[in-house]
Structure 1
Amino acid sequence: MPHAASPAASQPAPPSTSPTARLSLIDVVAQSIGFMGPVFAVSILLPQLVGQNNAGKGAGVAAPLAVLIATVGMLALAWIVATYARRVHHAGSLYNYVTLGLGTRTGAATGLLYYAGIIALGAAIAVLIGGYVHDNLQAEFDVTPLPIWGWQLLFLAALLAVVYFGVQLSTRTQLVLALVSLLVLLVFFVNVIIQLGSDNSLTAFRPSSARDGWGGILFAVLYGVLLFTGFETAANLAEETDNPGRHIPRAVLSSVLIAAVFFTLGTYAQVAGFHFDLGAMAKASGAPLITLGGPDSAGGYGSQAVARLLELVVLLDMIAVYIGVSVAATRGVFALARDRWLPRPLATLSPRTGTPVGATALVGVVYLAVIGISNWFPKLVALPGVPGYFSMFSWASTFGSFSLAVTYLLLAVGGPRGLRDHPRRAAVYTASAIGLVTTAGAVFGALYKVPHPTVYAAYAALAWFAVALLLAVLLGGNSRRVPTPTPQTAS
């Protein structure tokens, strides 16, 4: 039987104060999948999973096992989010969930941290995408039609147009881009596994295969959590979704399951594709997926054309992530401003499209500022041996990932109180405990042995959270509280 929800919690905001759209289940699934960017994530995080990271620890060839364990933790968090989503339909959903569990001011501070993190992730893609296109065109075809900053500005202009002209355009664009890239990479991974034939092995799922044993596997789980970052963002579209109490929970849970299958298959295909050889993976750590897509003479399973196709689908998925992150950011900023935690002009809606024009403008300005810093002040976050745009991507993505991990942690901590009227109390405590352990590990992994200046990104996120708590205390008397749902009558 469906959960009973309070009328106050489930009624959408009045039309004059709420974005206007009527999204379907497939639209909100596309939002979560687009934000996660499975193709983009699985193409860049394999080295970290196997142990080629700052701490030098990982699961080695047992990386697929680490992904499965991370999936358990993320499913626990997804269950908590889905349970809340049946009861609260708000553009700033996640910070409202934390509010129900930990109080108004902590919830507001968490919202300020969470959406700052999402904006940082968008800014990270804003700088990376230009450098990625520029460098690949130069390497593959020896052409440079635009400088890096030119590509960055071109993609930013296209992004803002897509976000402004309607969330349905945004989600459908994400759907096409993500679906094409997922299908291409899925075919490639299956092809690699077929070509391996008898060389396939269950070694990747045995704890004994990990170079550092269970310690390495559990450390890899911290990076496995990052694969799923953004699974919950369908909830930001609750006010714009038909039947949000039904569609949002399904979107959150199904997106985690879809991504888990893809991540496990993709991680296994890459590890097996290097014949479970850590040395071979280390040599290709810069772009393991593209290496596997190359010709047999270069240790791959395809050709130069296949490698270029993989580079293209990674770009397509990167664009989907760019859109998904930005849609989530604009809805979050809009909700915080409408609830008076941010300046009211940021809650302005476009009379033409019904989209949050004030929040979109803020996101565009921040992205533009980060693009400017990465091009004209690259030494601020410079990393040795990598281009300036990648240094900025590393710093901003660390800030964003850490901010989201802290938010997930607080969501798990507040679960038992926020869902105290849930009839399945044991399920609430179990999901909260699993989510807490998983996200606490991810937070630890973002700080442990991370070199300067990248570690400053995590410190900056903590500093911003402290400022957000102070702002929440100062502004608390003027802000609207989220209504507490009525007790549930069934699980």
Structure 2
Amino acid sequence: MNNPLQPGALLDSDAEQLRKLGYTSNFNRTMSLWENFALGFTYLSPVVGVYTLFALCLAAGGPPMFWSYLLVGIGQMLVCLIFCEVVSQFPISGGVYPWARRLVGKRWAWMVGWIYSISLCVTIAAVALGAGPYIATLLGFESTPVTNTLVALALTLIATVLNLSGTKLLARVAMFGFLCELIGAIVIGCYLLMFERHQPFSVLFNTFDIRIDGSYWPAFLTASLAGMFLYYGFEACGDVAEETPNPSRRIPKAMRMTIWIGGAASMFAALALILAVPDMAAVINGTDKDPMTTILDSAFGVTGARMVMAVIIVSFVSCVLSLQAAASRLLYSYARDEMVMGSGLLKRLSPNTHVPVPALITCGVVPAAIVCAGFYLQNAIALVVSFAAIGIYLSFQMIVAGALFARARGWQPSGAFKLGKWGWPVNIAAQVYGALAIVNMSWPRTPDAPWYVNYGIVLVGAIVIVVGLVYMTLFRPYDKGNAPHGDAWKLHHQ
């Protein structure tokens, strides 16, 4: 008889748990706790997040923008704890979609999947495009819209090929990306703090008299977008639930590690960069429009700066890879429940690599199309890209709301991770935080700009939701399959 601690027995119990939830799976359960965490970490990608938004947010709010990383991290940890409870009871591939299905029902789940899949595809395109200038600097050519587009297409293709190679390679690349990012962030940060510190620590409390309508707070809220674009990688850990042994225990742990370690790395990188700015006034008044390049060139010289760029590029590649893996598992789980056109094809797993090949290819083609559209419609694509983060937050808040709804119906989480008496207060606090974050991200920042720029994010969001509702009403995709739904509270009473 098998010892329950032996890997074979563990995998058997995982398969049995999944069968009780209404599914069988042909995925390879080979992803360790650290590899699962690495997937979430590289999806969150502190280096990509901090380096991409550093200049914009420092100019907007000055050095106190540093504190937004801490405040947003606390808010997102509340959301993460709710996700931990849900994934512990429902460790099903696809993350937010199957969770919404079990907590609320089919229609709610369809809408969550719709908003989240669009947001992920746009985010893949945005991260791939963001790599262009760094690769241009590294290889010594000028960054133009044409080169950025070609780099983004190449990066998307590379990520797709790597993802098609199987879960083991995905896990290894994610782990490599994590180690590069973490070591890179620590080494670069330590060097800057020891040898290139131009500002005192007190600068973190100096607003440099930035005022909007006589107050500093609007400027700080604008600068806090730096933190808001960072902390949503934890969900990716749950997307590969059927590829991770003992997911009820490991995934909640990996999710929390993503915020602790990713948040700490982000804050350390941001701290080192802020203190290394040679002339803070020049950044805030707009004279120095690219403080990142100023810092890296003055600190490391041209050769050293290129080595730093290489670390940043690894971060971009592993970030695209992790985002695409998450999107493909969502699309696969959507198709497995017959919730989307072409379900018969999209739910297929390769017999050799045990990954959803058609879903992965789709999650390469759609972002590539968005990249190409962005070349011709640069202003329009900027609005769509800015919607992506709000779309992710909105999807997450639909899960938090779903958990509140299920609790009100009598749901008592029964997975390995439970908040117990803290469930209600944490759930309510996570909902309030998420609503305020979405309002902050959508708020108009440029009063003199045309209305469609000021309210572009809200407009794009409304279009995505209305199109989804119309499609859902006309074609009733949620009624095709017969997988379990809306049973979180019923399972407790059975």
Q: Look up the match of 1:228.
A: 231
C-alpha deviation, 1:248, in angstroms: 0.6
**Aligned CA distance change for structure 1 residues 472 and 397 (closer, same or farther; 3 Å):** same
Preserved contact between residue 45 and residue 227 of structure 1 (Cα < 8 Å)? no
C-alpha deviation, 1:396, in angstroms: 4.3
Asked if 1:251 is matched to 2:248, the reply is no
**Deviations 1:288-346 (CA, angstroms, capped at 9, x unpaired):** 33321222xxxxx3322222222221111011111011000110001111111112121
For these two proteins, the number of residue pairs brought into alignment is: 456
Q: Look up the match of 1:14.
A: 24
Q: Look up the match of 1:25.
A: 33
- Structure-1-length-normalised TM-score: 0.83
Q: Look up the match of 1:174.
A: 174
Letter in 2 for 1:332: L
C-alpha deviation, 1:135, in angstroms: 5.7
C-alpha deviation, 1:476, in angstroms: 3.1
What is the correspondence of 1:286-365 to structure 2 with a 5 Å cutoff?
A: 286-295=289-298, 301-343=299-341, 344=343, 345-365=345-365
**Aligned CA distance change for structure 1 residues 232 and 177 (closer, same or farther; 3 Å):** same
**Deviations 1:58-110 (CA, angstroms, capped at 9, x unpaired):** 3x221222211111101101111111111001112212333344433112211
**Aligned CA distance change for structure 1 residues 218 and 132 (closer, same or farther; 3 Å):** closer
Aligned with residue 55 of structure 2, among 47, 56, 79: 47
Aligned with residue 422 of structure 2, among 422, 427, 437: 427
Gaps of 5+ in 2: 1-13
Preserved contact between residue 27 and residue 242 of structure 2 (Cα < 8 Å)? yes
Letter in 1 for 2:111: A
Aligned with residue 109 of structure 1, among 108, 111, 123: 111
What is the correspondence of 1:104-253 to structure 2 with a 5 Å cutoff?
A: 104-130=106-132, 132-134=134-136, 136-139=138-141, 147-195=147-195, 200-204=200-204, 212-253=215-256
Separation (CA, whole Å) in 1 of partners of 2:273 and 2:147: 33
Q: Look up the match of 2:436.
A: 441
What fraction of aligned residue pairs are identical, expressed as a percent? 19
Separation (CA, whole Å) in 2 of partners of 1:210 and 1:67: 19
**Aligned CA distance change for structure 1 residues 332 and 278 (closer, same or farther; 3 Å):** farther
The worse-fitting range, judged by mean Cα deviation, of 452-461 and 188-197 is: 452-461
Preserved contact between residue 12 and residue 239 of structure 1 (Cα < 8 Å)? no
Separation (CA, whole Å) in 1 of partners of 2:470 and 2:116: 16
Separation (CA, whole Å) in 1 of partners of 2:173 and 2:238: 18
Separation (CA, whole Å) in 2 of partners of 1:143 and 1:115: 29
Separation (CA, whole Å) in 1 of partners of 2:66 and 2:149: 37
**Aligned CA distance change for structure 1 residues 267 and 340 (closer, same or farther; 3 Å):** same
Aligned with residue 378 of structure 2, among 378, 381, 389: 381
**Aligned CA distance change for structure 1 residues 366 and 285 (closer, same or farther; 3 Å):** farther
What is the correspondence of 1:262-281 to structure 2 with a 5 Å cutoff?
A: 262-274=265-277, 277-280=280-283
Preserved contact between residue 222 and residue 441 of structure 1 (Cα < 8 Å)? no
Preserved contact between residue 80 and residue 431 of structure 1 (Cα < 8 Å)? yes
Secondary structure of 2:70 counterpart: helix
**Aligned CA distance change for structure 1 residues 9 and 71 (closer, same or farther; 3 Å):** farther
Asked if 1:404 is matched to 2:395, the reply is no
Letter in 1 for 2:432: V
Preserved contact between residue 76 and residue 435 of structure 1 (Cα < 8 Å)? yes
Separation (CA, whole Å) in 1 of partners of 2:72 and 2:143: 41
Q: Look up the match of 1:55.
A: none
**Deviations 1:106-134 (CA, angstroms, capped at 9, x unpaired):** 12211111111111111223334345424
The worse-fitting range, judged by mean Cα deviation, of 205-214 and 341-350 is: 205-214
Secondary structure of 2:113 counterpart: helix
What is the root-mean-square deviation of aligned Cα atoms in Å?
Answer: 3.2
Secondary structure of 2:109 counterpart: helix
C-alpha deviation, 1:205, in angstroms: 5.5
C-alpha deviation, 1:278, in angstroms: 4.5
Aligned with residue 90 of structure 1, among 89, 92, 102: 92
